[in-house]
Amino acid sequence: MYFRKELTFSTDRHEDLVDITSEINVAIVESGMEHGVCNIYVPHATSGVLVNENDDPNIIEDLLGVLRKIAPEGSFLHDRIDGNGDAHVKSAIIGPSESIPFKNSQLLLGTWQSVMLCEFDGPKYSRKVIITLFTG
Ligand code: ZN
């Protein structure tokens, strides 16, 4: 048995990490499923999904800082096409999905963990996040 829902988020900054944990937990409650696995997937080539801390906002800046060092803006062949080669590389490093178990209709995250949508080529009005829940 599975349940699928598409969520849409807008991003305000060129690069950002947006906490989407509560929206995912709402979708799990809406599904009526109590336990299983939740896959979170972004169908975009310049964004990603990761799980990390969102309590100290410096962690977001630290992560973005590391990615900027690995993939500096303006240093890629793809920049000749639409100027966002760095965003594609950052997206590939982070990856487009995470799978997280859920119990009592809530993600089984650690105290300091949040699910974050990663924007590398914003701001964008419409970033899709596809939630797929599987249960036995
Ligand atoms: Zn591109």
Q: How remote is the CA of residue 61 from the centroid of ligand 1, in Å?
A: 23
Q: How remote is the CA of residue 45 from the centroid of ligand 1, in Å?
A: 8
Q: How remote is the CA of residue 80 from the centroid of ligand 1, in Å?
A: 9
Task: Give per-residue pLDDT as tens, 80-124.
Answer: 999 999 999 999 999 999 999 999 999 999 999 999 999 999 999
Give how many domains the chain has, as a whole number: 1
Q: How remote is the CA of residue 89 from the centroid of ligand 1, in Å?
A: 10
User: What is the domain-level CATH number for residue 25?
Assistant: 2.60.120.460
User: Domain of 42?
Assistant: 2-134
Q: Which DSSP string do the residues of 1-47 spell out, in sequence order?
A: -EEEEEEEE---SSSEEEE-HHHHHHHHHHHT--SEEEEEE---SSE
6 pLDDT exceeds 90? yes
- pTM, whole model, 2 decimals? 0.96
